[in-house]
Amino acid sequence: MLVFTVLVLALSANAQSPVDKPSESETTLAKKVDPKLHADAVRLVEVSGAKQHLQDNLEKMVNEAQKAMMDKCQGCAPEFGKEWKRRFLERTNINDYLDVYVRAYEKYFTNAEINELIVLQKETSKTAVPSPALKERLTAVMPELMADAIGDCGKIGAKLGAQIGAEIEREHPEYMKPPANSTRP
């Protein structure tokens, strides 16, 4: 559910902002990650059910992003928004968003902490409680982890959204209305 919430925020807040380069965390972590830590972080994302949450809720999230974009783009005809949504859904790679979480877990947690989180995710009991050390660690890192994840997911959505928006504008200039106070030949 945490991943879903972050993606809703990221997609809707950054539907059409341009993004050019990977974040510092993407480039530094790509070079230094321990293969075991990476495998465990991937496993944590898998057992969290994040992929299923995204698949189940992608259209809703993209609807919210489309609405936010159309609210900002006063010159966009409804056809623009419909085409943008269609292309965004078609081109979205859920694994790109899941990779953000893998990198975040690699950055903020040790192998032992990730393995404890995996055990907690697998617990069917509502009484599953993290160890005092993990609880303290979660409290300490969650604000920064969430900020990184929201930011990096937002960059992915923003880059794709901006690319699609530019394509539609080139291919369908008729989808762009002139501003109310201008005269167009």
- φ, ψ for residue 117 (rounded to 5)? -65, -40
What is the model's pLDDT at position 31? 57
What residues have CB less than 8 Å from 42, skipping those under 6 apart?
A: 102
> What's the average model confidence in pLDDT over 21-46?
74
The pTM of this model reads 0.77
Comparing CA positions, the residue from 96, 131, 99 lying closest to residue 113 is 131
What is the model's pLDDT at position 127? 77
Residue 74 pLDDT grade (very low, low, confident, very high; cuts 50, 70, 90): confident
